[in-house]
Amino acid sequence: MHEMTMINTTQRNHKIWRELRWISVLFLLLLFCAVASPASAAETSLKKASLMPLWSPQAQFAGYYVALDRGIFARHGIDLEILKAGPGHSPAQALKNGTADFAVLWLTTALQYRSTGTKLVNLAQIIQRSSMMLISKKSSGIRTITDMNGKKVGMWGGDLSIPPHALFNQFNIKVREVPLTHTVNLFLRGGIDVTSAMWYNEYHTIINSGVDPEELNIFFLNNQGMNFPEDGIYAMEKTIHTDPALAKAFVSASLEGWRYAFAHPEEALDIVIRYMHEAHVPANRIHQKWMLDRMRDLIMPGNIQGTLGILKEQDYEAVGRAMRKDGLIRSYPDYHAFSRRYDAGEK
């Protein structure tokens, strides 16, 4: 807005009175903004920024939607747009192309892009551990990872297959991979023996399709030594160079959003579900509640309150080594080159 005023004043013409009227209107608007949000009183202009999450709106991204809806981003000086995501949208690609300033990516994805020369940096590691799991029906007789040898296992494409692949390599077994899409019906109907699932999503969908937890054998990759931290906030190195303050503000606002969401889960669910409706995505509240609750478990594991968003060096190294071993990447950068801690964790 301030910039607009400057432009107007440089283009002097005869219609000074009209200009003055415009200026006074704008001035009033500014004044109003200053009164309405005192936090932005010092900085009167909001920086435009965009975020692409991994998927369409759901509680997995509650922190960002809540921060946007509650004006937390605005308070941090950011006029954020959350870009459409989901099938056909790759957040990593969007970063690379420059269509998104920030993106939510898995660490594995980020490392793969990094190894192919895309200069991504980790600004904050939101999900601290792997939430991926393999599920078999007890009736199938698969009780261990080894039992999966030669069985039909539902696997997602792309980066989501990295952790299970690493697991199967570790156990030295071969499975019959069946590509998975967005439903759990193939598993429910018995088309596959084992399915990949996210704890916060597909697992709950299976439970709420009438299969009791007691009827399932569950293998958390996390418990099998495959602790691949998932959702993190990423940006291009270039973006950070240009405006380090923006990156810092973005991370602060996001983490604040998450804290607010966990402190006010019902309100957070209302917000998420509203965004889901806007995106024409079916919204099941109890499912979103489950997802938000699991996010709390994944984002704030244990009791380390107040230290959100840190990528631990040993986790980073473990993932890098595992990926290099499996030939997914040739090398991975130094932790300090990759991770820029802009955490507002000590708040």
Partner 1 sequence: MPLAGGTMPGKNSIVIKLVIVITLCSTLIFAVTLGYNYYRSRVILEKELENNARNLAMSLVYRVETELSAVTKVTEGVASSLETGRYTERELLSLIRTTVEKNPEIYGSTVAFEPYAFSAATRLYAPYYYYREKGKIAFSRLENSYKYVPYLYWDWYQIPRELGKPEWSEPYFDEGAGNILMSTYSVPFYGKSGTTKKLKGIVTADMSLDSLTKLVSSVKVLKTGYAALLSRNGMLLAHPLKDAVMNETFFSIAEARNDPSLRKLGKKMVRGESGFIHYKSLVGFSSWMYYAPIRSTGWTLAVVFPETELLENVRNLSMIMAAMGFAGLLLLITMVVYIASTITKPLRLLASATDEIASGNFDVELPTVRSKDEVGVLAHDFQIMMASLKEYIKNLTETTAVKERIQSELKMATDIQASLLPRLFPAFPDRPEFDIYASMDPAKEVGGDFYDFFFIDDTHLCFLIADVSGKGVPAALYMMVAKTLLKSEGQRLGEPDQILNCVNKFLAVDNDSCMFATVFCAILNTETGDVRFANAGHNPPLIVDSQGTRYLALKPGFVLGPMPDTVYEAERIILQPGDTLFLYTDGVTEAQNLEEELYGEPRLRDALQRAAKDDITEMIHCIRAEVTRHANGAPQSDDVTMVAIKYRGVDAK
For partner 1, the binding residues (CB under 8 A) are 87-88, 152, 178-183, 185-186, 188-192, 207-210, 212, 282-287, 290
Three-state DSSP class for 125? Answer: strand
Q: Nearer Cβ to partner 1, position 144 or 209? A: 209
Q: Nearer Cβ to partner 1, position 44 or 183? A: 183
Phi, psi of 208 (to 5 degrees): -85, 10
Three-state DSSP class for 291? Answer: helix
The distance of closest approach from Cβ of residue 289 to partner 1 in the complex, given in angstroms and rounded to an integer, is: 8
Burial 173-182 (b: 16+ CB within 10 A, else e): bebebbebee
Phi, psi of 20 (to 5 degrees): -60, -40
* CA–CA separation, 330 and 200 (whole Å): 32
Q: Nearer Cβ to partner 1, position 150 or 244? A: 150
The distance of closest approach from Cβ of residue 255 to partner 1 in the complex, given in angstroms and rounded to an integer, is: 29
Q: Nearer Cβ to partner 1, position 281 or 310? A: 281
The distance of closest approach from Cβ of residue 295 to partner 1 in the complex, given in angstroms and rounded to an integer, is: 17
The distance of closest approach from Cβ of residue 316 to partner 1 in the complex, given in angstroms and rounded to an integer, is: 31
The distance of closest approach from Cβ of residue 198 to partner 1 in the complex, given in angstroms and rounded to an integer, is: 17
Q: Nearer Cβ to partner 1, position 74 or 194? A: 194
Q: Which of 91, 197, 211, 219 is nearest to 148 (CA)?
A: 219
- Confirm if 63 and 298 have CB atoms less than 8 A apart: no
